[in-house]
Structure 1
């Protein structure tokens, strides 16, 4: 049994817990929040009694073994490092941290404290992502990767009323690229490695973060295009184009509705059945990594996290998106 504490009391933590409770080796044991009221309110929903408002006390508690971190991105590194120094295994929501320098510090802390550290990028763990990898050869040499993820944020309505919530605050290392774009870029790095060149453009909001944008990643024989937004929706699928056909993907973050469309017009459905809450697969993989005594997950490797963060760093430099954490 792996006993979990959580940092972050928002909807994404609810989704993680809902998925993880299906795993026999999972037990929810503790909540950390900056305020006692929020900690107790969240814990009460799950009949959990252990709550903390002091990070060091939480990190060094003997009441749990691992921590799921879903605090704002600007705090990911601080929270992860504190918990790992307390001997806890850590899974951190995407994006892993504010920049590559923070990711490197997190990895060094995992090594020096002999604990598991993993980025919670769910997309690369779902069964249909494996189907994409397995079927790349069928479409011939890849010539273009197009990942499209545009999701209108309800918080943007408040923004237009003059109320800037966390999703649009640079001091929390947020914005469209970090929150949404990472879903497009991490699988690209997982499939094809680090690109040779990165170009980016964005529509910048007055708060200092990007509302929407795009990234072009240049490889030796093809290019990758990522389109992302928190201020518009999109109904377009994503696709990986090859010389013999294309792999077309419906909802990219969950790899839903995956098929091959060949040049002759024939289609091949390569989707397999998946759990509706796809966070289940990352939670299961993290627990298995701990139980196998490994510090690094075999799918969401440290190298992939660093390379993805370097792409994000380069894209931010292109669009002039600077976080306080960069200083």
Structure 2
């Protein structure tokens, strides 16, 4: 049983706690917030939870084995580092860190301290992701992949109204690539590995973060086009095209449905049943890694490739974060 602490008192933390508890592998023991009152208010729906307003206090306490980090993006790496150095396992919300240097530093520190570091990327752990992966050989020689995730941010109107919400503020390492594009990008890397090269385009807001953009990953004989946006909604499925057939994937961030279209054959629905809360599967994988003390795992390779691509893409389109200054 993993004794879990959480950083963050928002809806995504609640959703992860629900997913983690449903696996039977966790008990919630601690909640951190900058305000003890806020932590207590959040924790009151759970039993026997200790509340902290000191990160160091929770990191060095003996009431937790692992921490789930769901703070603003720019805080992910420094908070993860603090808990790693106190010997705690870390599951960090995506993105794991602001840039590739931070990711590499975290991995080195986790391995030095013999703890599990894990990026919470639900898209690549769902049953329907594996259904998609299993179906790839049925497509024949792969030629074109289009992965789309575009979601109008609930905070965009605040930005348009002249406010400065965290989600559009470079001080918090935000933007479309970091918050939205990372889902289809992680899916592509999980399916196909590191590309030979990459091109990137993005449209910047006055705040300095990207509103939307496109990545193209170039492999030996096919390419992957990734569309992402925080200022518009996408409704089309993602598509993987081969010489013998095409896969359609609904809502690539959770893989809600997978359909195989092979030439001159009936459409085959490959969708399998999966938990309504897709975070359950990443929670299960993290618990297995902790139980097996698997410090060096495949997810870290993917996280490094993804972070390196995003760091390079931001350089191309001109998105700079304070965290990038070394």
TM-score with structure 2 setting the length:
0.97
Contact 1:123-1:187 at 8 Å conserved across structures: yes
1:228 paired with 2:224, answer no
For the 8 Å contact 1:148–1:227, the answer to whether it is kept is yes
**Structure 1 Cα separation of the partners of residues 202 and 42 of structure 2:** 36
Find out whether 1:306 has 2:309 as its counterpart: no
Aligned match of 1:269: 269
What CA distance in whole angstroms lies between the structure 2 residues aligned with 1:251 and 1:154? 18
* Match among 306, 322, 325 for residue 323 of structure 2: 325
Q: CA deviation at 1:297?
A: 4.0
Give the match's secondary structure for 2:44: helix
Looking at structure 1, the residues matched to 267 and 188 of structure 2 have their Cα atoms a distance apart, in angstroms, of 23
The match for 1:80 is 80
Deviation at 1:265, TM superposition (A): 5.5
Match of 2:116 in 1: 116
Alignment-derived partner of residue 66 in structure 1: 66
Q: Is the 8 A contact 2:111 2:296 kept in 1?
A: no
1:243 is aligned to 2:238? no
Structure 1 ranges of 4+ moved more than 2 A: 45-49, 263-266
Q: How much has 1:53 moved relative to structure 2? A: 1.4
Contact 1:3 1:26 in 2 (8 A): yes
- Aligned partners of 2:40 and 2:51 also within 8 Å: yes
Q: How does 1:1-327 map to 2 (within 5 A)?
A: 1-264=1-264, 266-298=266-298, 301-327=299-325
Distance in 1 separating the partners of 2:42 and 2:52: 12
Aligned Cα root-mean-square deviation (Å): 1.1
Cα distance in structure 1, aligned partners of 2:248 and 2:95: 25
Q: TM-score, normalised by structure 1?
A: 0.97
Distance 1:55 1:250 in 2: 39
Whole-Å Cα distance in 1 between the matches of residues 175 and 264 of structure 2? Answer: 41
The verdict on how the C-alpha distance between 1:27 and 1:297 changes in structure 2, with shifts beyond 3 A counting, is farther
Unaligned runs of 5+ in 1: none
Gaps (5+ residues) in structure 2? none
Count of aligned positions: 325
8 Å CA contact retained: 2:28, 2:49: no
Aligned with 1:97: secondary structure?
Answer: coil
Contact 1:118 1:296 in 2 (8 A): no
Alpha-carbon distance, 1:7 to partner: 0.7
Which of 174-183 and 46-55 deviates more? 46-55
Cα distance between partner residues in 2 of 1:14 and 1:55: 19
Distance 2:25 2:276 in 1: 20
